[in-house]
Amino acid sequence: MNLGDFLINWIATAPVTAVPYALAALGLIVAERSGVLNLTAEGLMLIGALAGAGSSLLFVGHPAVALLAAMVAASVVSLLFAVLVVVLRINQVIAGLSVVFFCQGLTGLIGTLAKWPAPCSACASARSAKIPRRLTPPGSASPCIGFLRSSPAPR
């Protein structure tokens, strides 16, 4: 595969990849025109994709059910954002980002509990690789202290 083939493939797949993000941006523009700073678009797409993929695995051959499940799941997350902002009067930025982080964690948890495969073999082997106990520096169990105190393993 030479550079010309790469560029042609990249240009051909760019619109397909960009459409979901363009639709999410369009929805955010409409929401911002109404005065709502809704930063939950990524979380809504994650939850919708998870619900759509899960329901398409359960109901094979029924794409309308998968689409409906994705819409319902994203609507429930939108309702969560609305309750946080309108009822509990939380800042829109804080509520939006917390919903996105919640959705990222929830989709990862559900994917792990459902034992869905890793996206690629390199990711699966990296997750299953174990660091020997003797090479682990003291304090590395803590994410902050371990990051600050870690040093290259002795040879």
Which pLDDT value is given to residue 145? 52
With contact defined as beta carbons under 8 Å apart, do 109 and 50 qualify?
A: no
Place 2 in a pLDDT band, splitting at 50, 70 and 90.
confident
Percent of the chain with pLDDT over 90: 46
Q: 87 near 50, Cβ under 8 Å? A: no
Provide the pLDDT for residue 131.
47
User: In what helix (H) or strand (E) does residue 148 lie, and over which residues does it extend?
Assistant: helix 143-149
**CA angle, 16 as apex, 3 and 45 as ends, to 5°?**
130
User: Which one is predicted more confidently, 145 or 90?
Assistant: 90
- Give, for 108, the enclosing helix (H) or strand (E): helix 92-113
